[in-house]
Amino acid sequence: MKYLIIGGGPCADSAAKELRKGDPNAEITILTEEWHPPYRRLSLTKQAWDVPFENISLKTEDQNIIIECGLKAIDIDPKQKLLTCETNEKQEYHLVDPIYKTYEYDKLLIATGIRPRKLNFNEDIIYLRNYSDFCYLKSQIEGKEHPHVLIIGAGFTGLELGAELAKRGANVTMVYPEDLPCRNILPLDFCVQIVETMRKNKVSMISGETVKEFKYESMGNEFATKREGYNVVLESGRTVTEYFDAVVASVGNIPNTLFEDKINNDRGIIVNEYLETNIKDVYAAGDVAVFPSTLYGRNMRKEFMDNAIKSGKCAAQNMLGTPTTYDPILNTFFDAFDISYKAVGEYGMNMSASYKNIDGGSVIFYREDNIIKGIVFWKVKPALAIATTCIKDKLTLSDDEYLYMMKYK
Ligand SMILES: Cc1cc2nc3c(=O)[nH]c(=O)nc-3n(C[C@H](O)[C@H](O)[C@H](O)COP(=O)(O)OP(=O)(O)OC[C@H]3O[C@@H](n4cnc5c(N)ncnc54)[C@H](O)[C@@H]3O)c2cc1C
């Protein structure tokens, strides 16, 4: 049996390892555009700063899995079960024309994830999505005692990165168009806590602004180039007169859909409950897949590590011939300075949100039609298993009753 996986993220890793477990003799190949084998992508805003690549690697290759790096999948022939790829050298080194390669498959998994939305500037803006981006960011600030970093956008990734850089002595400025970060996800008090915590730790938070222009000359050095840093003019006309060593943007993502003339997609690759696409023996999972959730009564696409791992595993089980449905209750987490939360299920301010303060932290409840859909454990020890059961069982308890069940009372 030949299993082919497109993408070199945690979803590909999870699927490949599950395939190996279920079929010790199969040929399993991962094709990835990246120059590194699969690694814990979420470490790029966390542990990666202190350890070599080895420590964040998922060690997929140890399971007798072939990994081909620097290859971009560009076409599929579903009848012949053939995949065409081109070498990625052209983009990476701007040196050579691509070479084309063809791969046969019996079962194919698309786990191509997402790519960052880009801003319309020619400047050297870093979009932290892969290990090469991370190394580049590191090279821009390394050796400087207090490098100045501008982060555009204050979503969870931007905030985590801002906190990590500030902890390492960087002068971090965050610019974002909203009045408060994460207001679409969290009740007001918690967004205020985020801003206060960032400011307390010397991160400059500029709300209600976007970047209009980058300037090189106003530091008094007419020959300054982007290599030496720049300061920025904001949409309101205000100039941030700092000399930024690096500019990072974290302003949303776009799913890496493939073969759009052949595979159905709608803001992601559409799959059924078995993670099958409309093409026989072609599956999709991870950040790129739009799957139907019976539990939540809608189609979903999730950009969480937990989804990458669970859906990769589920897709592999289906590829191995064991029908397995995917209808997960997912966990995620966030860390910035002393703010740390864990979340279960769906959460967002499109639902009704209430919270209770306990043990110096809070538990936030998200409901739709009075039914609990998601719970955030904010600076408190999370009761993830009980919360998951509450959501699965569609309970309609009061906040206090939930707290009692979760043994906080
Ligand atoms: C900086 C950062 C911090 C994060 N922090 C958290 C966190 O705290 N908690 C959390 O739950 N999640 C976090 N995430 C999200 C989490 O990492 C993703 O949900 C997870 O990586 C998704 O896995 P995936 O394998 O589906 O896709 P990806 O990890 O995006 O991998 C997709 C792979 O496919 C490759 N690819 C794309 N197109 C092609 C093609 N045509 N041909 C070949 N290869 C292709 C890409 O190069 C990449 O290797 C974070 C992400 C980032 C970037």
| Distance of alpha carbon 149 from alpha carbon 155, whole angstroms | 16
Domain boundaries, the chain: 2-115+254-319, 125-249, 338-405
Q: Whose CA is nearest to atom 27 of ligand 1?
A: 113
Pairing of strands 71-77, 27-32: unpaired
Which structure tokens are listed for 11? 């979803």
Question: Are 2-115+254-319 and 338-405 the same fold in CATH?
Answer: no
Its sign, for the CA torsion 182, 184, 187, 188, is: positive
Residues in contact with ligand 1 (CB, 6 Å cut-off) = 6-12, 31-34, 41-42, 44-45, 71-73, 111-114, 128-129, 157, 256, 258, 286-287, 303-306, 308, 332-333
Q: What is the mean pLDDT of each run of 10 residues along the chain (409 residues)?
A: 98 98 97 96 91 96 95 96 85 66 97 96 90 94 90 95 95 96 96 97 96 71 55 88 88 96 96 98 98 95 97 98 97 94 95 94 95 96 93 91 83
Measured CA to CA, the distance from residue 324 to residue 308 in angstroms comes to 16
Give the whole-angstrom CA distance, residue 153 versus residue 252: 9
- Closest Cα to atom 4 of ligand 1: 42
Fold classification of 338-405 is Enolase-like; domain 1 (3.30.390)
The pLDDT value given to residue 277: 98
Beta strand pairing status for 361-368 and 171-175? unpaired
Could you tell me the fold of the domain covering 125-249? Answer: FAD/NAD(P)-binding domain (3.50.50)
Q: Which atom of ligand 1 is nearest to the CA of 286?
A: 26
Q: Which residue has the tokens 């997402």?
A: 114
| The domain made up of 2-115+254-319 is a member of CATH 3.40.50.720 | no
Please give the single-letter amino acid code of residue 325. T
Ligand 1 pocket: which of 4, 42, 331 to mutate (most atoms within 8 A of CB): 42
Whole-number CA gyration radius for the chain: 23
What is the reported pLDDT for 222? Answer: 53
Beta bridge partners of 124: none
Q: Report yes or no on whether pTM surpasses 0.75.
A: yes
- Kindly report the protein residue whose alpha carbon is nearest to atom 37 of ligand 1: 112
- The residue assigned the tokens 């902890």 is 167
Q: What is the DSSP annotation of 195-256? A: HHHHHHTT-EEE-S--EEEEESGGGS-TT--GGG-EEEEETTS-EEEEEESEEEE---EEE-
3-state secondary structure of 386: helix
Instruction: State the pairing for strand pair 289-293/269-270.
Output: parallel
308 Cα–ligand 1 center, Å: 8
